[in-house]
Structure formats: structure tokens, C-alpha cells
């Protein structure tokens, strides 16, 4: 009898010790990746059935690691509503936000640093569904009306600058539907601390290879939509802004074809998806914009083409399919008129995938460079191969 008591008190100690350990971990710096229960797969205290699939998840602790306000329900993949099967982006569970409902989680961050939030969302029945994502005082309303992929859900990124050491990340359904079971579905919430890449010596473009950007799940295959963001200081894609009313897609080499490195941008929605950057230039000097233009390997219906802008120059460039290459290099010469020059790209066509006829897709841009025309020649030689380059170099010396 006494043995048993000792055993159970040891166990209690151990339980509370691991509880403390967890608390300690929770108090540490935020790690890049999924937030605590960011995929909503952690069972609530009484199991998922206790949240009442289709019932209420009210109360401060119903969904582990999150606080809710209003009707926030756990939904399960395969769950039906009316004649419709609810879409769960990943895994078996997600949450649905009812009218004016809110879900939030506190995060320990580094004051002054820039963070990007990645999340997946699907709409249910309402046509005008939108999600307000915020880390007060910053907020953005993400319009879920346009479905970019035929799967019925998309991933999005939004960035904020931390104003404090502990901030609260909030998702709110701004909708006021007659049918309270309508409302966006949220899943896979992740965070990444962004850094601003160093400006390369021979290139005026910051993050021209797009290698720095929002968190991407290794096994999530739809890419990340970057919605309109006019503030260069709080961009999920450091250096760049999305200055159109539609999103562009951030893609990875695990699920798409990218010209160089692990990341690139796929331009969507024709003129409604524009990325741009103001680069430092010297007035009256000749410059050359070069970039890679390709396809994403996602069965995008040809033709693919971009409009490229550099200062007062604009040029449309068609991608020429070539069985041996997934991209080509394009250029545009311009003379700088000021000490800042706008470089921008959009897709000329409104492309969709040829396999499902409705997912949006488009040309891929990568490896964007702006350099003085003179200095660029060295670059071109470098690209022809080191051996040949040395040969020319030696010839020039002679
Ligand atoms: C919950 O939301 C309502 C409005 O929908 C708001 O008035 C109230 O302050 C919120 N409560 C908390 C604890 O945030
Ligand atoms: C979004 O939420 C934030 C913080 O809760 C709020 O300040 C902002 O006004 C909201 N935006 C809209 C469009 O309701
Ligand atoms: C993606 O990876 C996560 C964690 O590694 C896993 O839990 C999830 O089931 C995976 N999803 C798919 C569709 O493979
Ligand atoms: C592709 O490569 C093969 C062999 O390297 C070559 O014969 C062919 O002409 C190339 N095709 C194109 C379109 O460049
Ligand atoms: C830009 O100028 C370079 C020479 O500096 C030339 O080789 C290239 O063809 C020009 N590009 C265009 C698009 O005219």
C-alpha cells in the first residue's frame, strides 16, 4: 500500500516536472516552424469528440495552446455539412471560425525583429469570406474569395515587426453570415523570423534570388500566396513588395521547378499580380537588368510571358519552351534617371493549369540582377565558364 502511494507521488512529481519543462520551453524564444498546436491536431482534454464536431469549442482551453472568442469549432476531414465535404488542408483536423469569432496565441518574440506568419485557409460557403490576421497594432485582411488552387484551400504569408517581447497573433473572421456554420477554415499556422539578406556587391537587387522568405512546410505542395503588401519594411519577401490587388506565389524546389536555389516566384493573375523593388542606382549610368524566366513544372498552359520594368524601360519577354531547359535568361538595358529605380514584373497572360483548368499559375522569375552595364560584362564572361573566362581575361591582359 505504502509502495503504491510512493509510486504515485513520484509519478505526480514527474508529471509536474515535465509540465515545468514544457513551461520552460514555452517561455523560450520562438522557433521557426509550426506554432504550438499550429496544425490543430493536438487532442483537446476530452478528445476531439468533446469539442463536438459541428458543435461548440467555447471556453479558454478548449483548443490546446489557443485562446478563442466566439464560435470556434474543430472540424475533421471528411466531415460533411449540407451537401459539402469540409476541406481540411493538412492532417485530420482544422478549426472553423464562426461569425466574428477569433482565435489567438501568444508568442515570445524578439522585439524589433521581423516575423512572417504562414497559414492555410479554406472558405466554406460564404462567397465573401475573409480573415483578419493581426499582431496588434499591425493587421491585414486576407481575402479568401479568390481560390488560387483547385484543392479548395491555399497557404498565405503575412509579416509583422514585433513591437514587444510577447505578442498576440490573432485570426478573426470578419464575416457576418446568416448561416453561422459558414466561416473560414484555418490550419497549419507557422512562423519564421526573417532576416534581410546582405546586398551583394555586383547586384543592386536585394533578395533577387528569393531565397529569403516565409516559412514553407517541406511537404506542403501548393506554394505560399503572398498577398498585396505595399510596405517594404514588413514584407514576407524581404526587399520586395506585392503592389497589385492579387497575390503572387512563393514556390520551392521540392514541389516546383525553380531556376536557381530553393525558392522562386510564380507570377499569377496577369497584370493583377505585380512584384517590385526600388533599387539603388546612379543617375545617368547605363544598367542592365537580367533575370531567369521559366516554368514551374506545374502543367501551366502556355504561352508564358512577363512584362519587365526597369525605370522608364519596359519589355515583354516570352518564355520559349526548350526541352533541355526549364528556364532562360532575359535582359533589359536602361539608363538610370534617379538614385532609386523601380524594377517590376508581372505576367502578361492569365494562365491556368492544363490538368485541372482552374488552378492559377504563370511564369517563374528568379535570380534578378541589376548591375552597371560595364561591370556586367565581367559577369557574362564568368557565366560562360571559368576556363573560357580566364582565356579571355588572359587575352585582354595581353
Ligand atoms: C470577444 O469578442 C467581442 C466582440 O466580438 C469583444 O467585444 C470582446 O472584447 C472579446 N473578448 C475578448 C476576451 O477578447
Ligand atoms: C483586424 O484586426 C485588428 C486587431 O484585432 C483590428 O485592429 C483591425 O481593425 C481589424 N481590421 C478590420 C478590417 O476589421
Ligand atoms: C507533413 O509533415 C508533417 C510533419 O512532418 C506530418 O505530420 C504530416 O502528416 C505530413 N503531411 C503529409 C500530407 O504528408
Ligand atoms: C537538347 O540537347 C540535345 C543533346 O544534348 C541536343 O541534341 C538538342 O539539340 C537539344 N535541344 C534543344 C531544343 O536545344
Ligand atoms: C543589352 O546590352 C548588351 C550589351 O551591353 C547586349 O548584349 C544585350 O543584347 C542588350 N539587351 C537587350 C535586350 O537589348
Q: How far is the CA of 257 from the centre of ligand 3 (A)?
A: 21
Residues with CB under 6 A from ligand 5: 288, 331-333, 373
Domains and CATH numbers, the chain: 33-192 (2.60.120.260), 195-398 (2.60.120.260)
- Determine how β-strand 305-310 pairs with β-strand 340-347: antiparallel
From first to last of its 398 residues, what are the pLDDT tens digits of the chain? 333 333 334 444 444 444 444 444 555 678 999 999 999 999 988 788 655 444 444 444 489 999 999 989 999 998 888 778 889 999 999 999 998 999 999 999 999 999 999 999 998 877 778 999 999 999 999 998 888 888 889 999 999 999 999 999 999 998 877 777 788 999 999 999 999 898 888 999 999 999 999 999 998 889 999 999 999 999 999 999 999 999 999 999 999 999 999 999 999 999 999 999 999 999 999 999 999 999 999 999 999 999 999 999 999 999 998 888 999 999 999 999 999 999 999 999 999 999 998 899 999 999 999 999 975 444 444 444 444 434 434 344 43
Residues 209/213/216/218 CA torsion (nearest 10 deg): 40
Ligand 2 nearest atom to the CA of residue 137, by list position: 7
**CA separation for the pair 294, 322 (Å, rounded):** 10
Q: 146 Cβ partners below 8 Å, 6+ apart?
A: 246
Q: Considering every ligand atom, which ligand is closest to the CA of 90?
A: 3
Q: How far is the CA of 333 from the centre of ligand 5 (A)?
A: 6
In this predicted structure, what is the pLDDT of residue 389? 38
The residue nearest atom 9 of ligand 2, judged by CA position, is 139
- Which residue matches cell numbers 487532442? 43
Ligand 3 close to Cβ of residue 316 (< 6 A): no
**CA separation for the pair 108, 30 (Å, rounded):** 6
The residue nearest atom 8 of ligand 3, judged by CA position, is 91
**CA separation for the pair 275, 224 (Å, rounded):** 15
In this predicted structure, what is the pLDDT of residue 300? 96
Q: How far is the CA of 332 from the centre of ligand 5 (A)?
A: 7
The CA-CA-CA angle for residues 391, 392, 398, to 5°, reads 95
In this predicted structure, what is the pLDDT of residue 15? 45
The residue nearest atom 6 of ligand 3, judged by CA position, is 91
Residue 100: CA count within 13 A, CB half-sphere: 4
Buried b (16+ CB within 10 A) or exposed e, 296-319: bebebeeebbbbbbbbeeeeebbb
pTM comes to: 0.85
Q: Are 131 and 139 in contact (CB under 8 A)?
A: no
- Write the DSSP assignment of 97-156 as a string of letters: E-TT-EEEEEEE--TT-EEEEEEEEE--S-TT-EEEEEETTEEEEEE-SS--STTSEEEE
In this predicted structure, what is the pLDDT of residue 17? 45
Q: Are 339 and 279 in contact (CB under 8 A)?
A: no
In this predicted structure, what is the pLDDT of residue 386? 43
Q: How far is the CA of 271 from the centre of ligand 1 (A)?
A: 39
**CA separation for the pair 79, 47 (Å, rounded):** 16
In this predicted structure, what is the pLDDT of residue 240? 98
Amino acid at each position: 500500500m505504502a509502495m503504491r502511494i510512493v509510486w504515485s507521488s513520484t509519478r505526480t512529481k514527474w508529471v509536474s516536472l515535465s509540465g515545468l519543462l514544457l513551461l520552460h520551453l514555452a517561455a523560450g524564444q520562438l522557433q521557426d516552424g509550426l506554432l504550438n498546436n499550429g496544425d490543430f491536431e493536438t487532442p483537446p482534454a476530452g478528445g476531439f469528440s468533446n469539442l463536438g464536431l459541428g458543435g461548440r469549442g467555447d471556453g479558454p482551453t478548449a483548443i490546446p495552446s489557443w485562446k478563442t472568442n466566439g464560435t470556434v469549432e474543430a472540424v475533421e476531414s471528411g466531415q460533411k455539412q449540407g451537401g459539402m465535404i469540409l476541406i481540411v488542408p493538412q492532417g485530420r483536423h482544422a478549426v472553423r471560425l464562426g461569425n466574428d469569432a477569433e482565435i489567438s496565441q501568444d508568442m515570445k518574440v524578439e522585439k524589433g525583429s521581423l516575423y512572417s506568419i504562414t497559414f492555410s485557409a479554406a472558405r466554406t460557403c460564404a462567397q465573401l469570406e475573409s480573415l483578419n490576421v493581426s499582431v496588434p497594432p499591425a493587421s491585414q485582411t486576407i481575402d479568401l474569395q479568390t481560390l488560387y488552387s483547385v484543392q479548395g484551400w491555399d497557404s498565405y504569408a503575412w509579416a509583422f515587426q514585433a513591437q514587444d517581447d510577447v505578442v498576440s497573433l490573432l485570426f478573426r473572421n470578419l464575416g457576418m453570415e446568416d448561416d453561422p456554420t459558414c466561416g473560414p477554415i484555418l490550419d497549419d499556422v507557422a512562423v519564421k523570423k526573417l532576416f534581410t539578406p546582405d546586398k551583394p556587391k555586383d547586384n543592386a537587387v536585394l533578395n533577387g534570388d528569393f531565397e529569403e522568405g516565409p516559412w514553407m512546410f517541406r511537404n506542403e505542395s501548393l506554394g505560399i500566396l503572398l498577398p498585396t503588401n505595399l510596405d517594404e519594411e514588413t514584407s514576407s519577401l524581404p526587399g520586395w513588395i506585392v503592389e497589385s490587388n492579387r497575390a503572387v506565389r512563393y514556390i520551392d524546389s521540392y514541389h516546383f521547378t525553380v531556376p536557381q536555389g530553393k525558392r522562386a516566384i510564380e507570377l499569377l493573375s496577369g497584370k493583377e499580380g505585380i512584384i517590385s523593388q526600388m533599387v539603388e542606382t546612379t543617375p545617368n549610368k547605363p544598367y542592365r537588368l537580367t533575370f531567369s524566366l521559366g516554368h514551374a513544372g506545374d502543367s501551366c498552359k502556355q504561352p508564358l510571358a512577363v512584362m519587365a520594368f526597369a525605370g522608364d524601360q519596359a519589355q515583354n519577354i516570352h518564355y520559349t519552351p526548350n526541352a533541355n531547359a526549364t528556364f532562360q535568361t532575359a535582359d533589359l538595358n536602361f539608363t538610370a534617371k534617379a538614385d532609386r529605380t523601380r524594377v517590376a514584373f508581372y505576367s502578361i497572360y492569365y494562365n491556368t493549369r492544363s490538368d485541372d483548368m482552374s488552378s492559377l499559375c504563370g511564369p517563374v522569375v528568379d535570380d534578378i540582377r541589376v548591375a552597371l552595364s560595364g561591370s556586367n560584362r565581367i559577369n557574362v564572361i564568368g557565366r560562360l565558364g571559368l576556363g573560357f573566362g580566364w582565356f579571355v581575361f588572359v587575352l585582354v591582359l595581353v
